[in-house]
Amino acid sequence: MRLLTSAAAIAAAILLPVSANAADAPVQVTLDASKPGAVIDRHIFGQFAEHLGSGIYGGIWVGKDSTIPNTRGIRNDVVAALKELKVPDVRWPGGCFADEYNWRRGVGPERKAAVNSNWGGVVEPNTFGTDEFMDFAQQVGTEAYVSVNLGSGTAQEAAEWLEYMTSSTDDAMGAERAKNGHAAPYKVAILGLGNESWDCGGGMSPDFYVSEMKRFSRFLHNYNPAQPMKRVAVGPNGADTSYTDAVMKAWKGHTWAWDIEGLSLHSYSTGGWPPHLPGTGFDEKDYAVLLKESIGMDDLVKTHSAIMDKYDPEKKVALVVDEWGAWLAPTPGSNPGFLVQQNSQRDAVLAALNINIFARHADRVRMANIAQMINVLQAMILTDKDKMLLTPTYHVFHMYVPFQDATSLPVAFDAGTYTAGGVTLPRVDAIAAKDKAGKVWIAVTNIDAKQPATFSIALGGVKATKASGQTLSAPKIDSVNTFDAPNTVAPKAISAKIANGKLSVTVAPASVTVLGLEP
Ligand code: AHR
């Protein structure tokens, strides 16, 4: 076993070549609370809601006259479930949708319909627009991450949108907002300067994008002093470093006239393109294939961070992984343009592994947004008319709430290996952190789909007599929650013994567990 102490070495532990643990031997973990690392920004638990399929209409918005219980048209059940997650921010209105969005059609008493050319060519009624999104954000208690149209729109249109959202009523745009029923300026915490400009956002070369981005950064003003606003530039598509290099190089030479606080990274776990891995009914090989690809996120973060370090050694610009998650084959019978997929225990493990990667790189990865929040891709919540269910991924986000804004603590362990269908990946994963109240939390993931895992965690001087928390496992790796059986995959209480400064816990195959240490 390797005992690593520096934060960087700990970050690498899971991916270093390691000797295989015998599946029945305890995984020896060493916690070092004396060397706290970076704060795990709560914004790595961000969400993404695009006008796509029933991500908005049906998922959030049902309209004021709906028989589904709602507050000003927004589903009460969905808001209540999201509040439990303490969602730090929601990215809206897209995605590819954002770069064709005309915000003017979505405000005021007369909404103007459009065609959603990106997602199924369906009618976009624009009944859920800026004021409804801000109302939703307020009901959930989350921050607004608004992505402006840099692709097909002008800087002036985007500037006026920001003016509409953030100015006082002395300004004509602020007065228009007041006329629409909202006198107080909204808070825009994060502004996205385009989306995937290398592809659906306009197929721009890195240099062309940089020129456009500078103009948008220069002319889009936040007029609400109550809310500092961070700007996120379009960054890399997966492993391609051309945008990373161009944007960061430009940033290094930036003047007073423009600035950014974040660089976006998009990377989905797909198992090949176009996505073809099924959401249910898959075998252990497909389980391993998708998870192996997904932990490649660690390499991506390292690759882009190294370039960012070159231009920004003080880490002023955050790496913002604002689209990540599993992108699977569409559920049979669904509209392929709606990106509907089921969410299994495999997705729960995938979510935990990615959150752990972000947490290990907390000094640079300070925001992330899983795609997407409701009814689309790796969703937290699925709805069908008046019914709603919480997915296994939702449960992981809920279990990880204590890690929001907690300070990471190094853990060293030998991950061992797990092989299925010829695919080899680490057998386990673990992270630890101390919350603001001083309580230490440990998250362990058993990737092995067949064997349980016992963790023996040396607490390194942290005084605790017991540990308790929740564990998420399932009858099968492809177990899902359905509207008829919504609790097939649900967390259960778990407690662990602590003796002689060591915590010992045995967890199920393919499971995620979060434990808090107690005096
Ligand atoms: O999340 C679905 C789509 O994936 C987004 O609209 C786009 O940004 C990405 O390609």
Per-residue pLDDT reduced to its tens digit, 278-321: 999 999 999 999 999 999 999 999 999 999 999 999 999 999 99
Q: Is 50 in the pocket of ligand 1 (CB under 6 A)?
A: yes
Both structure tokens of 503: 């915590």
Pairing of strands 89-92, 387-390: unpaired
Ligand 1 atom index nearest CA of 377: 1
Residue closest via CA to ligand 1's atom 8 equals 95
Q: Which helix (H) or strand (E) holds 293?
A: helix 284-295
Residue 419, strand partner residues? 424
Number of neighbouring beta carbons within 10 Å of residue 485: 11
Distance 193 CA to ligand 1 centre (A): 15
Q: What are phi and psi of 246, to 5 degrees?
A: -65, -45
When pLDDT is averaged across residues 216-245 and rounded to a whole number, the result is: 98
pLDDT value at residue 22: 53
Ligand 1 atom index nearest CA of 339: 2
Cα–Cα distance, 162 to 178 (Å, whole number): 14
pLDDT value at residue 149: 98
Distance 95 CA to ligand 1 centre (A): 5
Number of neighbouring beta carbons within 10 Å of residue 394: 25
Burial class (CB in 10 A: 0-12, 13-18, 19+), 255: exposed
Distance 484 CA to ligand 1 centre (A): 30
Kindly name the residue from 196, 212, 261, 284 that is annotated as catalytic: 196
For residue 493, pLDDT over 80 is answered with yes
Residue 143 bears catalytic tag? no
What is the three-class DSSP state of 440?
A: strand
pLDDT value at residue 24: 75
Q: Is 371 in the pocket of ligand 1 (CB under 6 A)?
A: yes
Distance 410 CA to ligand 1 centre (A): 34
Amino acid letter, 428? V
For residue 17, pLDDT over 80 is answered with no
pLDDT value at residue 13: 36
Residue closest via CA to ligand 1's atom 5 equals 95
Q: What is the pLDDT of residues 200-213, one digit of tens each?
A: 999 999 999 999 99
Distance 307 CA to ligand 1 centre (A): 24
Ligand 1 atom index nearest CA of 201: 8
Give, for ligand 1, the residue of 54, 90, 96 to mutate: max count of ligand atoms closer than 8 Å to Cβ.
96
Burial class (CB in 10 A: 0-12, 13-18, 19+), 290: buried
Distance 25 CA to ligand 1 centre (A): 42
Ligand 1 atom index nearest CA of 94: 6
- Residue count (the chain): 519
Residue closest via CA to ligand 1's atom 9 equals 95
Q: Are 442 and 45 in contact (CB under 8 A)?
A: no
Give, for ligand 1, the residue of 200, 273, 340, 341 to mutate: max count of ligand atoms closer than 8 Å to Cβ.
200
Distance 105 CA to ligand 1 centre (A): 22
For residue 21, pLDDT over 80 is answered with no
Cα–Cα distance, 228 to 237 (Å, whole number): 28
Query: CA-CA distances (angstroms) from residue 49 to 323, 381, 388, 477?
Result: 11, 12, 17, 27
pLDDT value at residue 6: 34
Cα–Cα distance, 480 to 178 (Å, whole number): 45
Cα–Cα distance, 21 to 435 (Å, whole number): 31
Q: What is the pLDDT of residues 223-234, one digit of tens each?
A: 999 999 999 999
Give, for ligand 1, the residue of 48, 195, 264 to mutate: max count of ligand atoms closer than 8 Å to Cβ.
195
Ligand 1 atom index nearest CA of 50: 6
When pLDDT is averaged across residues 479-498 and rounded to a whole number, the result is: 97
Residue 110 bears catalytic tag? no
Q: What is the pLDDT of residues 142-156, one digit of tens each?
A: 999 999 999 999 999
Q: Are 60 and 374 in contact (CB under 8 A)?
A: yes
State the DSSP code for 385: T
Q: How many helices (H) and strands (E) does the chain have?
A: 11, 26
Q: Is 96 in the pocket of ligand 1 (CB under 6 A)?
A: yes
Both structure tokens of 206: 């890195």
pLDDT value at residue 5: 31
Q: What is the pLDDT of residues 69-107, one digit of tens each?
A: 999 999 999 999 999 999 999 999 999 999 999 999 999
pTM above 0.85, yes or no: yes
Q: Is 95 in the pocket of ligand 1 (CB under 6 A)?
A: yes
Distance 144 CA to ligand 1 centre (A): 18
| pLDDT over 70, % of the chain | 96
Residue closest via CA to ligand 1's atom 6 equals 95
Give, for ligand 1, the residue of 92, 119, 196 to mutate: max count of ligand atoms closer than 8 Å to Cβ.
196
Q: Are 324 and 267 in contact (CB under 8 A)?
A: yes
Residue closest via CA to ligand 1's atom 3 equals 95
pLDDT band, residue 23 (cuts 50/70/90)? low
Q: Is 196 in the pocket of ligand 1 (CB under 6 A)?
A: yes
| pLDDT over 90, % of the chain | 95
When pLDDT is averaged across residues 60-77 and rounded to a whole number, the result is: 98
Q: Is 323 in the pocket of ligand 1 (CB under 6 A)?
A: yes
Amino acid letter, 155? A
Number of neighbouring beta carbons within 10 Å of residue 208: 13
For residue 368, pLDDT over 70 is answered with yes
When pLDDT is averaged across residues 493-516 and rounded to a whole number, the result is: 97
When pLDDT is averaged across residues 177-191 and rounded to a whole number, the result is: 98
Distance 124 CA to ligand 1 centre (A): 17
pLDDT value at residue 195: 98
Ligand 1 atom index nearest CA of 268: 4
pLDDT value at residue 81: 98
When pLDDT is averaged across residues 344-370 and rounded to a whole number, the result is: 98
pLDDT value at residue 322: 98
Ligand 1 atom index nearest CA of 199: 10
When pLDDT is averaged across residues 43-49 and rounded to a whole number, the result is: 98
Cα–Cα distance, 222 to 176 (Å, whole number): 17
Number of neighbouring beta carbons within 10 Å of residue 444: 29
Residue closest via CA to ligand 1's atom 2 equals 95
